[in-house]
Chain A
Amino acid sequence: MTASAVATLKTQRRPLYPGWFYAPAAVVYSVLFLAPTFASLYFSLTRWTLFDATFIGFDNFAQFFREPFLIQGLVNTVIYAVITSGLKVVIGMLLAVMLTSQIMARGYLRSVIFFPVLVSTIGVGMTFTVLMHPTMGMINQTLAMIGIKGPGWLVDPKLALFSVALVDVWKGVGLATVIYIAGLVAIPKDYYEAARIDGATKLQNFFYVTLPLSRPATATVITLSFIGGLRTFDLIWAMTKGGPGFASDTVASVIYKQYQAGFYGLSTAGNVVLFILIAVLVVPLTMVLNRKQGHE
Chain B
Amino acid sequence: MKTSRASLFGGFAAIAATFVVFVIPFLFIILMAFKDKQQSALRDFSWPNGFHLFENVYEVVKTRNWMMITAFINSTLITVISVTLLIVLAAMVGFVLARRKTRWNGLIEFLILAGLMIPPAVVPTIWLLQGLKLFGTLHGMILIQVAYNLPFSIILYRAFIATIPRELDEAAVIDGARPLDVFFRIILPLLWPVTVTNIVVQSVGIFNDFTNPLYYLPGNQNATVQLTLYNFQSQFSTAYNLLFTNILLITIPPLIVFMFFNRQIVAGMTAGAVKG
Task: Encode A101-132 as 1/0 by CB contact (under 8 A) with B.
Answer: 11111001111111110111111101110110
* Overall SS of chain B's interface: helix
Instruction: Say whether B273 contacts A179, CB under 8 Å.
Output: yes
Query: For residues 1 through 54 of chain B, which have their beta carbon under 8 Å from a beta carbon of chain A?
Result: 7-8, 10-11, 14-15, 18-19, 21-23, 25-26, 28-29, 42-45
Q: Assuming A22-B96, A113-B18, A131-B25, is B178 touching A33 (CB within 8 A)? A: no
Task: Encode A221-261 as 1/0 by CB contact (under 8 A) with B.
Answer: 00010010001011001100000000000001001100100
Nearest chain B residue, comparing its CB with the CB of A116:
B22
Set of chain B residues within 8 Å of A275, measured between Cβ atoms: 118-119, 121
Set of chain B residues within 8 Å of A194, measured between Cβ atoms: none
Q: A31–B131 Cα gap in the complex (Å)?
A: 12
By CB atoms of chain A within 10 A, which of B14, B144, B170 has the most? B14
Q: A28–B153 Cα gap in the complex (Å)?
A: 14
Q: Assuming A103-B7, A115-B22, A234-B210, is B147 touching A267 (CB within 8 A)? A: no
Nearest chain A residue, comparing its CB with the CB of B98:
A17
Among B90, B95, B233, B247, point to the contact of A17 (Cβ < 8 A).
Answer: B95
Set of chain B residues within 8 Å of A127, measured between Cβ atoms: 25, 28-29, 244, 247
Among B97, B251, B270, point to the contact of A123 (Cβ < 8 A).
Answer: B251
Set of chain A residues within 8 Å of B193, measured between Cβ atoms: none
- B58 contacts chain A at the CB level, 8 A cutoff: no
A49 to chain B, nearest CB (A): 10
* Overall SS of chain A's interface: helix
- B66 contacts chain A at the CB level, 8 A cutoff: no
- B196 contacts chain A at the CB level, 8 A cutoff: no
- B156 contacts chain A at the CB level, 8 A cutoff: no
Q: Assuming A118-B254, A178-B270, is B124 touching A28 (CB within 8 A)? A: no
- B81 contacts chain A at the CB level, 8 A cutoff: no
Among B118, B233, B254, B276, point to the contact of A126 (Cβ < 8 A).
Answer: B233
Q: A141–B119 Cα gap in the complex (Å)?
A: 39
Among B92, B99, B247, point to the contact of A24 (Cβ < 8 A).
Answer: B92
- A36 contacts chain B at the CB level, 8 A cutoff: yes
B105 to chain A, nearest CB (A): 11
Q: A136–B148 Cα gap in the complex (Å)?
A: 39
A178 to chain B, nearest CB (A): 5
Among A15, A48, A102, A264, point to the contact of B179 (Cβ < 8 A).
Answer: A15
- A56 contacts chain B at the CB level, 8 A cutoff: no
Q: A198–B215 Cα gap in the complex (Å)?
A: 59
- B125 contacts chain A at the CB level, 8 A cutoff: yes
Set of chain A residues within 8 Å of B93, measured between Cβ atoms: 21-22, 25
Instruction: Say whether A32 contacts B143, CB under 8 Å.
Output: yes
Q: Assuming A118-B258, A119-B208, A138-B45, is B96 touching A19 (CB within 8 A)? A: yes
Instruction: Say whether B178 contacts A14, CB under 8 Å.
Output: yes
Instruction: Say whether A268 contacts B118, CB under 8 Å.
Output: no
Set of chain A residues within 8 Å of B273, measured between Cβ atoms: 179, 182, 220, 224
Q: A128–B270 Cα gap in the complex (Å)?
A: 29
Instruction: Say whether A216 contacts B274, CB under 8 Å.
Output: yes
- A37 contacts chain B at the CB level, 8 A cutoff: yes
- B239 contacts chain A at the CB level, 8 A cutoff: no
21 example contacts (A-B, Cβ-Cβ < 8 A) are as follows A14-B178, A15-B100, A16-B99, A33-B147, A35-B128, A36-B127, A40-B123, A40-B124, A48-B123, A110-B266, A122-B230, A123-B250, A130-B43, A137-B43, A138-B43, A178-B269, A179-B269, A182-B271, A220-B276, A227-B116, A279-B118
Q: A32-B146, A105-B11, A175-B269 are in contact. List 18 more A-B contacts (CB 8 A).
A: A22-B108, A25-B92, A28-B147, A28-B150, A32-B125, A50-B123, A98-B14, A103-B7, A108-B15, A110-B266, A111-B262, A119-B208, A119-B254, A120-B251, A123-B250, A126-B229, A131-B25, A181-B270
